[in-house]
Copies of this chain bind each other. A is one copy, B any other.
Amino acid sequence: MDNRVWIQSVPNFSEGRDLQKVEQIVDCFRAKPGIKLLDYSTDRDHNRCVVTVVGQPKPLGAAMVEAIGKAVELIDMTRHEGLHPRIGCVDVVPFTPVRNATMEDADALAKSVAKRAAERFGQPFYYYGESASAPHRRELSAIRKGQFEGLAEKMKDPLWKPDVGPDTIHPTGGATAIGARQAMIFYNVNLDTSNADIARQIAQRVRSIGGGLRYVKALGIAKEERQLVQVSMNLTDYTKSSLYAALELVRMEAARYGVRVVGSELVGFVPLQALLDSAEYYLQLEDFHVEQVLEFNL
């Protein structure tokens, strides 16, 4: 088994239309020893590019600083429009421990990248997630409130002074949220009805703000091409709010309408442990140890 330290990052850049600019940013993660570009995708409506990259802390940090510099150079937030909330040319940079890494490793990397990028490019950074310097700054949505357009004013409030970098926004780059967090899982459950109201009502009961699972965000949406509806979920800490609990809670609420689960989808990458936890739950395994997985002994 690979004994190196692996950390994942999923930085979001505020450019989803000019694909030449996107490529220049993404190039910072290409063909470098110790890091691996797993995926990137752009959304015209969101005007945003989401990159998935894994690597060892040193090369991953160096590439991230470089990519932030490229985004500051290429993206002008005063001309940016898009559907997705954002505060800067690099909107958010999460770091997640993947293997042989702790949350502290991810936190240290986030702060090191922020300091270097602030110094070199004059971009201010907010620490969020596990790296947050105060409880009111843990949630990305709180940092993003008011977006780029309201940020210069918001920053005057001492509660919203950046953690590192200048105390004012970068004129064209805005600011960036950066920090350590658990891996996120994007998990959708499909239901055999065409009534999107049902999906919305289920989502409302399953998600944290509706009184559901603490680390689940959820939306109900129609999937018209398949004539069914979907509870689209975001699991922000699968170690506490599990895949199987999310599925079974959706199933339970759906039963109220006589609606059944026809399938589910994992979008993008999923940590192995999240799947093992589900196998362990459903198989009702007693005394299972992950070392029993043969491949973990190679």
Which A195-248 residues sit within 8 Å CB-CB of chain B?
Answer: 243-244, 247
Give this chain's copy count.
2
CB-defined A-B contacts under 8 Å, sample of 9: A2-B2, A6-B298, A244-B282, A247-B283, A265-B286, A265-B288, A266-B285, A272-B293, A279-B282
Partner of A275, one of B1, B8, B271, B275: B275
A297–B38 contact, CB under 8 A? Answer: yes
> A4 to nearest B CB, angstroms?
8
A284–B266 contact, CB under 8 A? Answer: no
Partner of A283, one of B36, B268, B278: B278
A276 contacts partner chain B, Cβ-Cβ < 8 Å: yes
**Closest B residue to A268 using CB positions:** B292
Partner of A36, one of B2, B284, B285, B297: B297
**Closest B residue to A39 using CB positions:** B297
**Closest B residue to A277 using CB positions:** B279
> A119 to nearest B CB, angstroms?
31
| Assembly CA distance A53 to B297 (angstroms) | 10
Q: How many residues of A contact B (CB 8 A)?
A: 44
B263–A275 contact, CB under 8 A? Answer: no
**Closest B residue to A278 using CB positions:** B279
Partner of A282, one of B54, B98, B183, B278: B278
**Closest B residue to A189 using CB positions:** B284
B294–A8 contact, CB under 8 A? Answer: yes
Which A242-284 residues sit within 8 Å CB-CB of chain B?
Answer: 243-244, 247, 261-266, 268-272, 275-276, 278-280, 282-284
Cβ contacts under 8 Å, A293 to chain B:
269-272, 275
| Assembly CA distance A298 to B6 (angstroms) | 8
| Assembly CA distance A2 to B295 (angstroms) | 10
A287 contacts partner chain B, Cβ-Cβ < 8 Å: yes
A84 contacts partner chain B, Cβ-Cβ < 8 Å: no
| Assembly CA distance A281 to B235 (angstroms) | 20
**Closest B residue to A270 using CB positions:** B292
Cβ contacts under 8 Å, A261 to chain B:
284
Which A2-29 residues sit within 8 Å CB-CB of chain B?
Answer: 2, 6, 8
Cβ contacts under 8 Å, A6 to chain B:
298
Cβ contacts under 8 Å, A295 to chain B:
98-99, 271-272
